[in-house]
A = this chain, B = another copy of it.
Amino acid sequence: MLRPGPRPAHRRGLRRRRRDGPHLRQRARGRRRDRPLTPIEEDAVATAAVNRQYRLAARPVGLPEEGDWDLTEEPVGEPGDGEVLVQVQYVSLDPAMRGWMSEGRSYIAPVAIGEVMRAGGVGRVLASRAGGVAEGDHVSGIFGVQEYAVAPADGVFKVDPQLASLPTYLGTLGMPGMTAYFGLLDIGAAHAGDTVVVSGAAGAVGQVVGQIARIKGCRAVGIAGGAAKCAYLVDELGFDAAVDYKSEDVRRALRGHCPDGIDVYFDNVGGEILDAALTGLARGARVVICGAISQYNATQAPSGPANYMSLLVNRARMEGFVVFDYATRYGEAAREMGGWLASGQLKTREDVAEGLENFPETLLRLFRGENIGKLVLKIA
């Protein structure tokens, strides 16, 4: 049963399907019935009778369109042994999702056609058939774009809503924060006195990069689109300077703000801004390749960084990384960043949209550069 969405226009062309066939039967077969659900669990599952989900219907060409999605319904699943049932409260919207929608070799398999769209999320455990995670716990994990997720307990992380708001666990204390932390300090090897430039600076990763840079004694310069974002960076987050790529010549502005050159350039966007930053490198600079949001929806082969020979002239290096490789060190980063959050040294901001049915439209806000801070979708 579909609940009425607040923005019905966005749902035109969207295929809706009720799923109760093979997928569900498979789940039922997979469940080991060696322990009946407790009355609380039965109750929770009964209350949440229907699970709405966004599944990938087609591989997008350019920006994802409504027709690339199926909004499906199926009964809420039941956790098997070692699994938990989670009511997803917030879905994380990340630029990387665009990559997962495409075929082709990457650091992670693409989402298959017909599969629930992969997404990080945070929610409440409704039922657990695993030690260490109890009903009522809040957890984060890869839950997908859906209202309820059955997930292996060893793939979820318990989070404490008293220490930080749930969306923060998808942003500054989640993958984007980890990405900022290890990208800047490990790959970028930033140290006191460095000039650090970050693009996509008002985004989930960028806002953390610039603030950690400041905390570590670096000069932080952010590149973002629009006066509001630039003001936010400097006035609220304490960046030393901001460049508005929509109204300024980025190359010239960077020259002005980085008179001794750029020691670390943390790139979230690729394209012309990467090229502009390459022209301004200091000797021995480190360029951290985190993403290339300007290119993700390109329908032609993206243009590479024409100024890459600046790496030679400046004896510089450009390096890519995938945050999942740092999984064993997340705790270390979470402790340090948690401390900064508690002391007020590190500020965080989330941009919260609401309603599962607004997922396709909200995702596009990322690629239009409309969000400030971490973009999440509240669905419960």
Interface on A for B, CB 8 Å cutoff? Answer: 105-107, 270, 275, 289-292, 295, 301-322, 325
Contact = CB atoms under 8 A, between A and B. Distances in A.
A304 B306 contact: yes
A228 to B, nearest CB: 29
Contacts of A295: 309
Contacts of A307: 304
30 contacts: A105-B313, A107-B312, A270-B309, A275-B304, A289-B309, A289-B311, A290-B312, A292-B309, A295-B309, A301-B306, A303-B303, A303-B304, A303-B306, A304-B304, A304-B306, A304-B307, A305-B305, A305-B308, A308-B308, A308-B318, A309-B320, A311-B319, A311-B320, A312-B321, A312-B322, A314-B320, A315-B320, A317-B320, A318-B318, A318-B319
Contacts of A309: 270, 289, 292, 295, 302, 320
Copies in the complex: 2
A319 B317 contact: yes
A311 to B, nearest CB: 4
Contact of A312 (B289, B305, B308): B289
A188 B102 CA distance: 32
A297 to B, nearest CB: 14
A146 B283 CA distance: 33
A275 B105 CA distance: 16
A313 B320 contact: yes
